[in-house]
């Protein structure tokens, strides 16, 4: 329930529609209407998705005149990526250590 930022980013990207939005926004900013076009859902539903992405920091909305285009904040994925890399590397180091141990056992057997 704390809903820390990292959890929010993971949760935001757990939805295929929102991942698709991010994929499209990575190519170019888009208005909400442009974004909504491919999905068979109400405009309000799209606004809801955008709010989830926005509160996770994945996306921002331009200030100023309407319509205010949606912008992908690529840097918002950094902390998530760090998390993933950290534990992938951790597991890898553990694997290396296992190799080392097996090698040592091999030597002892000689």
Partner DNA sequence: TTGACTTTCAACCGATTAGTTGAAAAGAGG
Partner DNA sequence: CCTCTTTTCAACTAATCGGTTGAAAGTCAA
- Residues near DNA (CB under 7 A) are 1, 11, 14-15, 17, 31-33, 40-45, 47-49, 52, 61, 64-68
Task: Please give the size of the binding site for a second copy, defined by CB under 8 A.
Answer: 31
For CA atoms 11, 17, 19, 22, the dihedral sign is negative
Contacts with a second copy, 66-95, as mask; x by CB under 8 A: ------x-x--x--xx-xxx-xx-xxx-x-
Which of 34, 77 has the CB closer to DNA? 34
Contacts with a second copy, 8-47, as mask; x by CB under 8 A: x-xx-xxxx--x--xx--xxx-------------------
Reduced to 3 states (helix: H, G, I; strand: E, B; else coil), residue 95 is helix
> How does DSSP classify residue 56?
T
């Amino acid at each position: 329930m704390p809903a820390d930022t990292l959890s929010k980013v993971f949760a935001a990207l757990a939805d295929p529609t929102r991942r698709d939005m991010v994929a499209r926004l990575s190519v170019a900013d888009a208005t909400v209407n442009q974004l909504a076009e491919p999905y068979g859902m109400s405009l309000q539903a799209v606004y809801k998705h955008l709010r989830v992405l926005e509160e996770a920091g994945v996306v921002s909305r331009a200030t100023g005149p309407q319509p205010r285009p949606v912008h992908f904040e690529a840097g918002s994925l950094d902390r998530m990526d760090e998390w993933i890399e950290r534990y992938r590397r951790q597991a890898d180091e553990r694997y290396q250590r296992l190799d080392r141990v097996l090698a040592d056992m091999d030597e002892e057997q000689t």
